[in-house]
Chain A
Amino acid sequence: MATQQTRSLARFMMAPSVILLFIWMIVPLVFTLWFSFLQYNPLNPIRDGFVWFANYKLFYSNPAFLQSILNTLTIVVSVLAITVIGGILLALLLDQPIWGQGFVRILVISPFFVMPPVAALVWKNMIMHPQYGVFADIARFFGANPIDWFGQHPLTAVILIVAWQWLPFATLILLTSLQSLDGEQKEAAEMDGAGFLSRFWYLTLPHMSRAITVVILIQTIFLLSVYAEILVTTNGGPGYASTNLPFLVYQKALLEFKIGQASAGGVIAVILANIVAFFVMRAVGRNLDK
């Protein structure tokens, strides 16, 4: 069926997408790579010049850079742990026969549709505020001292907010996967006298493994670039306590105009993302062959 004509028509139909994405991917990235080898400060152009890897050396000589990478990884790993474990438990619960399941699903999925600045502001002011927040009200009710979340535990606070945003995503995907589990298999296992735990371990979990992988990989892509939540709540502070790599790059580029350093940070971010991307592609690609 694929004549010469249809083939060239197909190429013509694909061209705009491919060309646009190619430009979008290559042009800025080449700039960033080039800038990362420069000392480049638009506010102080006299000292500009080519400095080879000096900007990259900051990543093990400057504590702020090292900490930003550590914070990035802490956010990714903690949020993944909370959302995957929480998501599995929630999916198991929502998979039970319950009254009002549709409505419960709507309530659970909702945080995912809240734009990041709103999520961050609501948590900052109404939930975690040391004086007027709901957590403070609860603490006082039990006679405890309210916690100053953003002063004392800034990174934990950011992690909680981001986890709240992504828990619905994990739950929804794991629930979708759970619902495709064959009911007869479950019954057979039950008849054979398998308890809840062994049923979960030998039947449910293996069935969900693919969905869990997908959740982990896709969330990682987004979690590596958490930005608005930090901007709105802690602004990276106190000090660099809640600065992750994207936030550091933003500070260096648009506040301090240290373009060389910011670009080196950007290149490191690309490398981190690519390590994850490699595994995402493998997981998704396997599915394409079916």
Chain B
Amino acid sequence: MARAVTTQHKTIATVAAWVVALLIFFPILYTIITSFKSEQEAIQGFALIPSGTTESYSEVQAQSGYFKFFLNSVILSVGSTVLALIVAVPAAWSMAFSPTKRTKDILMWMLSTKMMPAVAVLFPIYLIFRDTGLLDSRIGLTVMLMLINLPIVVWMLYTYFREIPGEILEAARMDGASLWNEIIYVLTPMAVPGIASTMLLNIILAWNEAFWTIRLTTTEAAPLTAFISSFSSPQGLFWAKLSAASTLAIAPILIMGWFSQKQLVRGLTFGAVK
């Protein structure tokens, strides 16, 4: 028997859920609204209807060269994710398909490197970057972000690969498929969804990383996290502009995030909750 759901119950729950959801979303919504106000309007008290001007957006680009930071964010997050995948796919693959009794220990050890607080290695990393000329370089930061997310990438891939049934491989082998054919025609199609989800989540994580990206860059390699942080220094009340910059900085990742909810649960709980 399905539980009887009264319309009244559903209405109350719906209203409550929408109110709470809108309250939680409100700071983001208000930022988007404010970005379409003029500076004058933005400080004239609470108002939900903007005049619809887009002058803040053009000013953000004109004054601070927003696009360069945006481009750096794209390069860093996509670059580090691709690098991490190149290193992690073979590792996760071999752990999932030919596990040894040490596989579990290695996985746990990898996870433990993720738990190391960044500040603990701030100065050594800073020294190494300074002495090798990597400060404020995209290459240095890309490698850095790759290392930070590598444990999560290996883990996520591992949990996906492990779900590919081994019987299929054996069947392919029985049918006389070579190792190469096995990889191209059997494994790859089954692994692609897992790899894609892993990629999506890690681009999000790298995009939002806000410790190393702020501390190891100044201008050349600075991504959006560093650009936005520079607004914290007092420079008058430019709220419409601040809102426009913020909206631009979060919009692409917000949309990607909406598509990756399920993977988020799996990726960030290391497969413990699915």
Task: Give the contacting residue for A109; candidates B43, B122, B258; CB below 8 A.
Answer: B258
Contact (Cβ within 8 A) A97 B13:
yes
Q: Which residues of A have CB within 8 Å of B45?
A: 132, 137
Q: Which residues of B have CB within 8 Å of A124?
A: 232
Contact (Cβ within 8 A) A113 B5:
no
Contact (Cβ within 8 A) A32 B208:
no
Known: A115-B253, A126-B239. A228 touches B98 (CB 8 A): no
- A127 interface residue per 8 A CB criterion: yes
Among B94, B122, B127, B208, the one with the most A-chain Cβ atoms within 10 Å of its Cβ is B122
Task: Give the contacting residue for B121; candidates A29, A177, A288; CB below 8 A.
Answer: A29
Contact (Cβ within 8 A) B46 A137:
yes
Contact (Cβ within 8 A) B27 A13:
no
- A70 interface residue per 8 A CB criterion: no
Report Cα–Cα, A31/B128, bound state, in Å. 11
| Residue of B whose beta carbon sits closest to that of A225 | B117
The SS class assigned to the A binding surface is helix
Task: Give the contacting residue for B228; candidates A31, A115, A218, A274; CB below 8 A.
Answer: A115
Contact (Cβ within 8 A) B17 A172:
no
Task: Give the contacting residue for A232; candidates B14, B229, B268; CB below 8 A.
Answer: B229
Would you list which residues of chain B between 217 and 274 have a CB under 8 Å from chain A?
Answer: 224-225, 228-229, 231-232, 237, 239, 242-243, 246, 249-250, 253-254, 256-258, 261, 264-265, 268-274
Contact (Cβ within 8 A) A115 B14:
no
Task: Give the contacting residue for B124; candidates A32, A115, A119, A132; CB below 8 A.
Answer: A32
Distance in Å: Cβ of B16 to nearest Cβ of chain A? 6
Distance in Å: Cβ of B245 to nearest Cβ of chain A? 8
Q: Which residues of B have CB within 8 Å of A137?
A: 45-46
- B20 interface residue per 8 A CB criterion: yes
| Residue of A whose beta carbon sits closest to that of B230 | A117
Contact (Cβ within 8 A) B90 A13:
yes
Interface residues on A, range: 35 or more
Contact (Cβ within 8 A) B87 A17:
yes
Contact (Cβ within 8 A) A9 B228:
no
Distance in Å: Cβ of B177 to nearest Cβ of chain A? 15
- B106 interface residue per 8 A CB criterion: yes
Would you list which residues of chain A between 158 and 205 have a CB under 8 Å from chain B?
Answer: 164, 167-169, 172-173, 176-177, 180, 183, 186-187, 190
Would you list which residues of chain B between 168 and 186 have a CB under 8 Å from chain A?
Answer: none
**Per-residue A-contact encoding for B141-157, CB less than 8 Å = 1, 0 else:** 00000010011001000
- B139 interface residue per 8 A CB criterion: no
- B164 interface residue per 8 A CB criterion: no
- A37 interface residue per 8 A CB criterion: no
Task: Give the contacting residue for A123; candidates B13, B27, B116, B256; CB below 8 A.
Answer: B27
Distance in Å: Cβ of B216 to nearest Cβ of chain A? 11
Distance in Å: Cβ of B166 to nearest Cβ of chain A? 9
Distance in Å: Cβ of B243 to nearest Cβ of chain A? 7
**Per-residue A-contact encoding for B187-229, CB less than 8 Å = 1, 0 else:** 0000000000000000010011011001100000000110011
Would you list which residues of chain A between 216 and 265 have a CB under 8 Å from chain B?
Answer: 218, 221, 224-225, 227-228, 231-233, 235, 245-246, 249-250, 253-254, 259, 262-263, 265
Would you list which residues of chain A between 58 and 88 have a CB under 8 Å from chain B?
Answer: none
- A157 interface residue per 8 A CB criterion: no
Distance in Å: Cβ of A122 to nearest Cβ of chain B? 5
Q: Which residues of A have CB within 8 Å of B110?
A: 17-18, 21
Contact (Cβ within 8 A) A132 B43:
yes
Report Cα–Cα, A35/B127, bound state, in Å. 12
- B67 interface residue per 8 A CB criterion: no
- A51 interface residue per 8 A CB criterion: no
Report Cα–Cα, A28/B95, bound state, in Å. 27
- Beyond the given pairs A14-B91, A121-B231, A227-B211, 11 more chain A to chain B contacts, judged by CB atoms under 8 angstroms and listed by A's residue number, are A7-B98, A28-B121, A98-B13, A117-B228, A121-B232, A137-B45, A176-B265, A249-B120, A254-B123, A269-B120, A281-B108
Please report B residues at the A interface, Cβ cutoff 8 Å.
1, 3, 5, 9-10, 13-14, 16-18, 20-22, 24-25, 27-28, 30-31, 34, 42-43, 45-46, 87-88, 90-91, 93-95, 98, 100, 104, 106-108, 110-128, 147, 150-151, 154, 204, 207-208, 210-211, 214-215, 224-225, 228-229, 231-232, 237, 239, 242-243, 246, 249-250, 253-254, 256-258, 261, 264-265, 268-274
Chosen A-B contacts, 30 in total, with CB atoms closer than 8 Å, are: A10-B94, A13-B94, A16-B87, A97-B13, A107-B25, A108-B25, A109-B257, A109-B258, A115-B225, A116-B208, A120-B232, A121-B228, A122-B27, A125-B242, A173-B268, A176-B274, A214-B272, A227-B118, A228-B211, A231-B232, A246-B211, A254-B122, A265-B119, A269-B120, A273-B115, A273-B120, A277-B112, A284-B108, A284-B111, A284-B272
The 6 closest A-B pairs by CB, nearest first: A28-B121, A113-B257, A31-B124, A13-B90, A266-B120, A228-B210
